[in-house]
Amino acid sequence: MSQWRIVRFTKWVPRHPKKSIVFGGLALYGVNYGIENRRVRLMMRAYCREAQDFGEQICPQGDTPRHVTVILNPKTKGSKNLYENYAAPLLYLSGMKVSVFRTEHAGQAKDLMKIMDNTDAVVVAGGDGTLSEAVTGLLSREDRLEASERFPMGFVPTGKTNTLVRRLFYRDGMREQQLAAEAAMAVIRGVKARISAYKVEFHNQKLWASKDDLYEKKLMQLSQKDYEDDGIVSKVDSKSNNFPDQSMKEISNITQAPSEINQKIIEVKQEAAEKQPNFKQVDPVYGVGKIEYGLFRDIDANIERYWYFGPLRTRAAYFFQSLRRKIASEETEIQFSNACSGCKRCVMRELKKGEIKAEEEKEEETFSGGSRWWSSYVKKNLKPKKAPVNPLERYNSVENEKCGQMYDTYICYSNLEIEPVNGALVVRASPANLSTCAVMFDGFKRHSSYVTPCVTDQLHVGEVHFNFPQEELSGSSYIPTPKEDRSPELRLKGAKINIDSNVFARQPLSVTLYPQAINVFVAAR
């Protein structure tokens, strides 16, 4: 009977090729799904046994179990699947006390880290955006040196982009389930290391005048002098005129000329005033991932528009966008200082701030008058308390005369990346003359290996200032639609820059390296 069915099946396949392809594909998908599901179950069984071994250890008398606070972003794509199925079971099996805070709006992770206390570690479950908020809250504290040591940070990757987690835990062939479980096991094992962070400060005007600005200003001065020589422009005594508005007074002071020239000057001034860029004041942002601006960033922002291509939407985005876009290079003037491995100028500056704050708190405690009434009858302990040893004290004797010395240069690029690596900010610039095919194939490699392959120039710096040109973003009376209000990519109308996958308007900015700023859990080697 079975042989007859086999013969019948072999005759049926060539007669119905379309059906054979469809059912064959479904069968192959089912077999692959079953094999992958079994592999994940075996992996989780091994991780659970290891976590259970930690949980069965006897806690020393007088000690309490470790307390871990989890900041979970429930709106990320893998918040329910990755965290609750592959990270949370391991944390509970290890015997730790786990407290979970689910964020409800943007910026709440930052607010939580500013007031974080009474915990032994913090685990951030989210993507690059949630991680950036948590790091910003931690490094915005006045006691950030002490807080970074008290609250080591762990990570569970549940977002679309997880740059830092991939840098710390990713190995070839590792799936997202194993990556989440490995990140959770790093918190349980307790192996820690310090990593560098950076601070981004935004400016509402150019940081310094470029050569083009100085040349344009000189031309305006020469033209103004020509008008004065011809008797076209002359000042009027402001005391003999009553002006209801100061701006009208300034306009009237510039001319006693024929009406046509007077009107032209007023129109030019009004047009220049309207072209002033409208920037909102943005607080400094801290990060540990990547800062990106340029061609590849703009294409990545359009990947979700090709959702109907399924797993091929990344390749579809780079294929169509590289054909549609005009590949243009940009030139930016920058100022930078060389990277410093640590000296009394850069590292000890933060340490001294912490010492001054500690002394002020001690003085307030001494003179607060909050002691009990019987304290005057009790003998005081006059022995000075031994201060805790700070690992950064060793830099107090290191001299580096070139630390903080700034240099000027221009960079020409099509895509720009800044990332903290090995105690320095690495500035990577892609070639300015990329062809359409190069953009397409380099984009494919970029998303398969998570590294931009077409980088030609690299600069290792400790601090860098980008004098980006200013441009109009939106008028002061602009009211975004509800859809634009939810997405910065749609709300911001000008050029945009990504900081840890968060979208900001491109404007002049300064990036400063914070070496060894955060204590994090890493994989055991």
For residue 225, what are its two tokens?
């002098």
Supply 57's token pair: 């250890």
The DSSP annotation for 45-79 comes to HHHHHHHHHHHTSPPPTT----EEEEEE-TTSTTI
* Residue 382 confidence class, pLDDT cut points 50, 70, 90: very low
Question: Residues 312-355: pLDDT tens digits?
Answer: 888 999 999 988 888 888 888 888 888 877 677 666 555 555 54
| 3-state percent breakdown (helix, strand, coil) of the chain, nearest 5 | 45, 20, 35
For residue range 440-460, what is the model confidence (pLDDT) as tens digits?
Answer: 888 888 887 777 777 766 888
**β-pairing verdict for 97-102 and 415-421:** unpaired
The SS3 assignment for 514 reads strand
Largest CA distance in the chain: 116
Q: Which of 14-18, 371-375, 425-429, 500-504 has the lowest mean pLDDT?
A: 371-375
Instruction: Answer whether residue 278 shows pLDDT above 70.
Output: no
Residue 197, number of CB atoms within 10 A of its CB: 23
| Whole-number pLDDT of residue 71 | 93
Residues 5-13: what's their mean pLDDT? Answer: 74
CB 193 within 8 A of CB 167: no
- How far apart, in Å, are the Cα atoms of 408 and each of 23, 77, 92? 64, 43, 53
What are the tens digits of pLDDT across the range 359-371? 455 445 444 444 4
Q: How far apart are CA 441 and CA 132, in angstroms?
A: 30
Distance, CA of 402 to CA of 274 (rounded, Å) = 43
Residue 333 in contact with residue 210, Cβ under 8 Å? yes
**Considering only 188-202, 247-261, 321-335, which range has the smallest mean pLDDT?**
247-261
Q: Which of helix, strand or coil describes residue 285?
A: strand
d(CA 425, CA 423): 7
**Looking at residue 89, what is its pLDDT?**
93
Q: What is the DSSP letter of 175?
A: -
Q: Which of 264-273, 275-284, 458-467, 487-496: highest mean pLDDT?
A: 458-467
Mean residue pLDDT across the chain: 77
Query: Which stretch of 93-97, 139-143, 258-262, 287-291 has the lowest confidence by average pLDDT?
Result: 258-262
Q: Round to whole Å and give the CA distance between 426 and 462.
A: 9
Report the range of poorest mean pLDDT among 123-127, 146-150, 216-220, 403-407. Answer: 216-220
pLDDT category at 198 given cuts 50, 70, 90 is very high
Cα–Cα distance for residue pair 196/424, rounded to 1 Å: 8
User: pLDDT higher for 378 or 464?
Assistant: 464
Q: Which residues pair with 68 in a beta bridge?
A: 98, 121
Q: Tell me the mean pLDDT in the region 199-226.
A: 65
What are the φ/ψ torsions at residue 514 (nearest 5 degrees)?
-115, 95
pLDDT at position 134, please? Answer: 93
Q: What is the 3-state secondary structure (H, E, C) of 8-35?
A: HHHHHHHHCHHHHHHHHHHHHHHHHHHH
Assigned CATH class of 285-342+401-521: mainly beta
**What is the structure's pLDDT at 446?**
84
61-106 tens-digit pLDDT: 778 888 999 999 888 776 678 899 999 999 999 989 999 999 988 8
Residues in the chain, total: 525
Query: Is a pLDDT exceeding 90 seen at residue 188?
Result: yes
Q: How confident is the model at residue 478 (pLDDT cuts 50, 70, 90)?
A: low
CATH homologous superfamily for the domain 31-54+62-190: Probable inorganic polyphosphate/atp-NAD kinase; domain 1 (3.40.50.10330)
204 DSSP 8-state letter: S
pLDDT tens track for 31-65: 888 998 899 899 999 999 999 999 888 888 778 88
pLDDT tier at 391, thresholds 50, 70, 90: low
CATH 2.60.200.40 domain span(s) along the chain: 285-342+401-521
Residues of the chain within CATH 3.40.50.10330 domain(s) are: 31-54+62-190
